[in-house]
Amino acid sequence: MKLLQFLALALALTTPLSAQKAPVPTPASILGYDPGADRKLPSWKQITDYFHAVEKASPRVQVHTLGQTTLGRPFLAVFISDSATLKHLDRYQMIQRKLMNPRLRGKDELESLLAAGKNIILITSAIHSTESGGFTTPLVLTDRLARGDTPEARAILANTIVILVPSQNPDGVDIVGDWYRSTLGTKAEGASPPELYHHYVGHDDNRDWYAFTQPETRYTVDSLYTPWDPEIVNDIHQQGSNAGRIFLPPYMDPLDPNIDPILTAGTNSMGMAIGWRMIGEGKTGIAYNAAYDEWSPARQYSLYHRGVRILTETASAALATPIDIPFNSLGAARGYEAKTVTWNFPALWPGGHWSYGDIVAYQVSASWAMLSQAARDRRVWLESYAALGERALAPDHPWTHDSVPAAFVIPRAQRDTQAVQRLVWTLQHGQVEVRSSTTPVSANGTTYPAGSYVVLTSQPMGGYAKSVLERQKYPNLHEYPGGPPIRPYDVTAQTLPLLFGVEIASVAAAPVASAAPIIPMEEPKFSVPGFSDRSARRVAIYRSYSAPMDEGWTRWMFDVNRVPFTSIVDKEVRAGNLNARFDVIILPDQNAGQMTRGVSQNYPDSLQGGLGTAGAAALASFVENGGTLLAFNEASNYAIEALKLPVKNVLAGVRNTDFYAPGSILAVEIKRDSPIAARMTAPVPAVWFENGPAFEITDPARATAVATYPATGDVLLSGWLLGGSKLSGKAALVDVTVGRGHAVLYGFRPQYRGQSMATQPLIWGAISRP
Ligand SMILES: [Zn+2]
């Protein structure tokens, strides 16, 4: 052997394995184009191929497949850190658990945990699939960390563990991507797909963070939040095109009083730090304290589970197609005006070309600034995180002046045992400790037997438990004194006992004797007696190409209960002869005009038309001939018009200064002898009201009120209601006889987001009536 050959062999034998690996691939080498290129969206396969290829080549990246999505795609989480850290993830997870929960650590252990711990950062991307910059940004961020060799990249790797979810909705990456590619060069290029981008819930996939109805939510909660409870969560979204280029926290008011202000302050501070750096990089159009509030656990799991939440909302293009926005066409958003410099909008964007590449650049810049700050101040973040643990275990939440109940008690023996189990399962899924009382518990004048479920408010996630168990008091916020209400970003209530139909009581201050937390309950199965697995009724659910989420939630409810149904589209309704195929047709919540007209002219001709006059006539004839039509919420207005029903919506045309209820839980009285109500067992009958109608019957011979708002007293149970007297004595649910059939109008959402299980029996009751 010649000397050179010998040296080469010796070198090969002594070189560490990692150095012999192939070079770390770039995103472009897998995609075949530069990430962020105009009119190019990656498929989910390309995205997963990239992460698997990087994992093979880089010791800084580990890919975990957490399960299968709703439509069978792999759901990924990517761990990124120093190779030495990744080899000992179990150790760092244990440190994190001890920092989170003071009960788990020794008396003098805190200092060593603060010294050794890493700042855990969860980045979730692309939960909303038309916000498609989020498909590509995770690849660019990973590339910067996997191949980066700058002091800053090394500091991030040394001080943090980044847990990256490249898409919180992988099915949507392909639903939107396939649609986009199929429409390139047509009039529909850049339009949203004519179907929900999550099979069941569409955009509501980011409203599922306390009900946990969808598998994608559960993967992130079960495999990432529950074991890690990260210090910082970065959720990457997009907003409309015509105002700022990116939103960063602070959020707007209101904020849920159950959130520890350490997290609000941390969120504010980090958001400001990100914008500071981005403006230094020359980026403009950065808006703070705009549009998005800090109210609900539905979309901000982390703020109730020890993590600050850095929502970023970057301006959209037309999917991946660039757009032009002249400066003078920029407009106002909630909290700022995009043509005016203000403290929370300090650098004007000059307008002009806005591309997919711009979106990715803004998103990457924001996430990178966050990672750099998180690495630099690692110890400060860990100290703040540890302080949260002490405060959660204090006997009264130390950040509030309101009285905090010591506990909530849930009696086991209730009429709907499935609902009780679902409530306990749901709480436990959100890391709430549920115990059994060891003695009888007195609350609100009732004594509940020993063995009742007990939820203490002094526990690691006590603020969260309180938020989902108590009744919300949303503040009265107006544009100016006497002016219109300030619209909440989303809805205003989340009281699970009212939504599920479970009796619960709060225990003021007395200590509650209880055993150790019960072990996590297995998920109770959904079932509807007489329907699940053996329904005799032929049910159709109307599916509009405008893709309202309520339609998806309706399908979800049927599927989880194993009740068969058929989806029907406009042209099938218009074709008529519906009695030959169906006994029942459901119109999910949708604007009446949208149902009539259908999708806009941008969509392919085959999807045009809506229900039109032919559809209305077909539905009227279906009911006349013995069919049952169920109309949910706003679709009731459609049914009243189309079928000429003897019912009036008393809220039609009423101004929001006179009546306002943007997503609240309201009390109703139930007509118990109606077959529609026969299955309803909720101890406090309550409906989910969200911009719905309220009814007055104009011909009592033909219509009956099955649920009615109380004639006296407060209608509001949880959330926000202005002008509640408009509802006094009005009907919430009406049963109308039409020919040989029935139209049933729900002035509320009876299966709201898979949560209002208390009112689902009103659907099954209407369907089961012969
Ligand atoms: Zn979004």
What is the pLDDT at residue 21?
62
Cα of 448 vs its chain's centroid, Å:
35
- pLDDT, one tens digit per residue, over 564-586 is 999 999 999 999 999 999 999 99
Residues whose beta carbons lie less than 5 angstroms from ion ligand 1: 128, 131, 237
308 against 21, higher pLDDT: 308
644 Cα to the center of ligand 1, angstroms: 39
CA angle (525 as vertex; 524, 528 as ends), nearest 5:
125
SS3 239: strand
Distance CA 590, CA 636 (A): 9
pTM above 0.85, yes or no: yes
Distance CA 619, CA 624 (A): 9
Distance CA 679, CA 416 (A): 10
321 Cα to the center of ligand 1, angstroms: 18
119 Cα to the center of ligand 1, angstroms: 25
566 Cα to the center of ligand 1, angstroms: 30
Distance CA 631, CA 589 (A): 7
Distance CA 26, CA 28 (A): 5
357 Cα to the center of ligand 1, angstroms: 18
What mean pLDDT comes out for the span 392-415? 91
131 Cα to the center of ligand 1, angstroms: 6
298 Cα to the center of ligand 1, angstroms: 13
What mean pLDDT comes out for the span 212-222? 98
Is residue 509 very low, low, confident or very high in pLDDT (cuts 50, 70, 90)? confident
What does the mean pLDDT of the chain come to? Answer: 96
Is residue 712 very low, low, confident or very high in pLDDT (cuts 50, 70, 90)? very high
Q: What is the CA radius of gyration of the chain?
A: 27
| pLDDT over 80 at 293, yes or no | yes
127 Cα to the center of ligand 1, angstroms: 7
Other Cβ atoms within 10 Å of 196 Cβ, number:
24
235 Cα to the center of ligand 1, angstroms: 9
Is residue 33 very low, low, confident or very high in pLDDT (cuts 50, 70, 90)? very high
Percent helix / strand / coil, the chain, rounded to 5: 35, 20, 45
What is the pLDDT at residue 770?
76
299 Cα to the center of ligand 1, angstroms: 10
313 Cα to the center of ligand 1, angstroms: 7
419 Cα to the center of ligand 1, angstroms: 31
| pLDDT over 60 at 42, yes or no | yes
702 Cα to the center of ligand 1, angstroms: 45
239 Cα to the center of ligand 1, angstroms: 7
What is the pLDDT at residue 397?
86
What mean pLDDT comes out for the span 245-268? 97
236 Cα to the center of ligand 1, angstroms: 8
